[in-house]
Amino acid sequence: MTLQDNLRKAEAWLARFREQGVQNHIGGNAVPAVDGSTFESISPVDLKPLAQVAHGKAADIDRAAKAAKAAFPAWAAMDGDARKKLLHRVADAIVARAEEIAFIECMDTGQALKFMSKAALRGAENFRFFADRAPEARDGRALRGPGQFNFTTRVPIGPVGIITPWNTPFMLSTWKIAPALAAGCTIVHKPAEFSPLTASLLLEIAEEAGLPKGVWNLVNGLGETAGKALTEHPDIKAIGFVGESRTGSMIMAQGAPTLKRVHFELGGKNPVIVFADADLERAADAAVFMIYSLNGERCTSSSRLLVEESIYDKFVEMVAEKAKRIPIGHPLDPNTVIGPLVHPVHEKKVVSYFDIAREEGATIVTGGEKIVDGEFGKGCYVRPTLFANARNDMRIAREEIFGPVLTAIPFKDEAEALALSNDVQYGLAGYLWTSDLTRALRFTDGLDAGMIWVNSENVRHLPTPFGGVKNSGIGRDGGDWSFDFYMETKNIALATGRHSITKLGG
């Protein structure tokens, strides 16, 4: 398949969005915003409009929350096996339309097809994983106590709000929505305004697969209006949020009056720590993959490269050589690794760090510029960038840039490596490269991170917990952890005999 073939296919799939726009979806019906307003979604490839999107606000959220509330009792009461079958049907339907999803996602987000075709399939896997666990979701434990026999059970918490970011929006939405549905919750989803297209496709797929009307509702809109209203709505019992740390903090405040349960997957400035005794070729490949794949727009990207002093120059050179060879291009070109960043607003932020790096006195080893010429036209393209000779107190080492931008910092010894790793506000992921097992155990024990990969790139295994510490998040997803969030645990204590009951008042 050539780029031209892919563009023709994409246009055919995008036509409906161009013609009909993206609607909200409430109670099983595609509906415009209550006030009839829309906002425009553009493609970062050429900044041209893709669709007019329903601009939902508090009134739309209220309708969606009421629909989710009305659908809750029947959905919560559905037998786990029936829910399992239904969610597998959703997964099958995602697989059947994986190519369409991937192509639309590429045009909406700028992510390369190379990665997006897998992301659509991973979305289906998320549904299968939680579908298989739906029958046992309510099971609890048996706890014997003196004179009492306790058993615990779990029940779905109620209608929940899911708020997702613009990076890999399809996959991330499934990651949050599949466990909520499997647990028996109904949903109001507010996708990100920069990349709203595949959220409506996903819901359409789910309802065509048989999901009852009103179980899953979608309201498009901005964070400060639709998102805020969702977090404040009294019928919404919990908010599963993926996005920036400062938004998480706002959501916590907004949800406080209604005592919302919150689950936050937030930002990161994740270190990849490379000791001199590591397999350097593999470490360099993994470091390059983890920062430059998905345009560096991933929460677990290895955006800080901490390298032992004795190999620092050599390793930085290895990474730079690989980064320079990464193909940049149209997201639908099968050879492209790096496509345009999601939106001009985000591109401006990423590009601003090139100047910040210069001002702070770091060296730009490669990249450090927006691509303005020729075939890239007006799109949001930046070159994969490597900053060296950086210090941990520089902004380029402390702030989440969220683009294909890596900051390399030398360290003297293990103690300094650990101190530098932990000296940021974030603690999502860490990547450690060493052949010394004892050091790996010691280091991972001290590292502030919710997820650590040793001599490995980021390979997700769905039963394992996913989430961050410090400003990178609250709570864990994956395995049974997701169900703990979307469900309430109840304990029932049964007396096994006639224990003495203190008589008050005679």
Do the Cβ atoms of 31 and 61 come closer than 8 Å? no
With contacts defined by CB under 6 A, how many residues of the chain interact with ligand NAD? Answer: 32
Instruction: Note whether 228 binds ligand NAD by CB under 6 A.
Output: yes
State the Cα–Cα distance between residues 496 and 500, nearest whole angstrom: 12
Q: Is the separation of the CB atoms in 177 and 216 below 8 Å?
A: yes
How much helix, strand and coil, in percent to the nearest 5, is found in the chain?
45, 20, 35
Nearest distance in Å: CB 461, ligand NAD: 15
Report the amino acid identity of residue 296. G
Q: How far is the CB of 226 from ligand NAD (least distance, A)?
A: 7
Q: Reduce the DSSP state of residue 253 to 3 states and report it.
A: helix
160/479 Cα distance (integer angstroms): 19
Q: Which of 75, 166, 433, 485 binds ligand NAD (CB under 6 A)?
A: 166
Residue number, 109 or 434, with CB nearest to ligand NAD:
109
User: Which tokens sit at 49?
Assistant: 């409009």
Question: Binding pattern to ligand NAD, positions 253-292, x when CB under 6 A?
Answer: -x----------xxxx------------------------
Q: Which is nearer to ligand NAD, 229 or 273 (CB)?
A: 229
CA distance 460 to 14: 31
Does residue number 56 form part of the binding site for ligand NAD (CB under 6 A)? no
- Window 335-374: contact mask with ligand NAD (x via CB under 6 A): ----------------------------------------
User: What are the structure tokens assigned to 56, written together?
Assistant: 């939902």
Interface with ligand NAD, residue 86, by CB under 6 A:
no
Instruction: Give the contact letters, 7-46, x = binds to ligand NAD (CB under 6 A), - = no.
Output: ----------------------------------------
The secondary element (H helix, E strand) that includes residue 422 is helix 414-422
Q: Which residue matches tokens 């601003």? A: 352
Distance, in Å, from the CA atom of 92 to the CA atom of 124, rounded to the nearest integer, reads: 7
Smallest distance, ligand NAD to C-beta of residue 491, A: 31
DSSP state for residue 225 in the 8-state scheme:
I
Catalytic sites, residue numbers: 265
- Residue 184 Cβ vs ligand NAD, minimum distance, rounded to whole Å: 23
Residue found under tokens 């979701």 = 137
Side chain identity at 323, as an amino acid letter?
A
Task: State how far the Cα of 41 lies from the Cα of 43, in Å rounded to an integer.
Answer: 7
Footprint on residues 291-310 left by ligand NAD (CB under 6 A)? 299
Q: Are 37 and 59 in contact (CB under 8 A)?
A: no
Binding to ligand NAD by CB under 6 A, coded x per residue (else -) over 63-82, reads: --------------------
Q: Which of 50, 182, 428, 487 binds ligand NAD (CB under 6 A)?
A: 428
- Longest CA–CA separation in the chain, Å: 93
Minimum distance of ligand NAD from residue 300's CB (angstroms): 7
Cβ proximity to ligand NAD: between 2 and 352 the closer is: 352
Q: What pairs with residue 25 in β-bridges? A: 30, 218
Pick the binder of ligand NAD from 50, 65, 124, 163 (CB under 6 A). Answer: 163
If the CB atoms of residues 275 and 466 are measured against ligand NAD, the closer one turns out to be: 466
Where along the sequence are the contacts to ligand NAD (CB under 6 A)? 163-167, 172, 190, 192-193, 222-224, 227-228, 231, 242-244, 247, 250-251, 254, 265-268, 299, 400, 402, 428, 468, 473
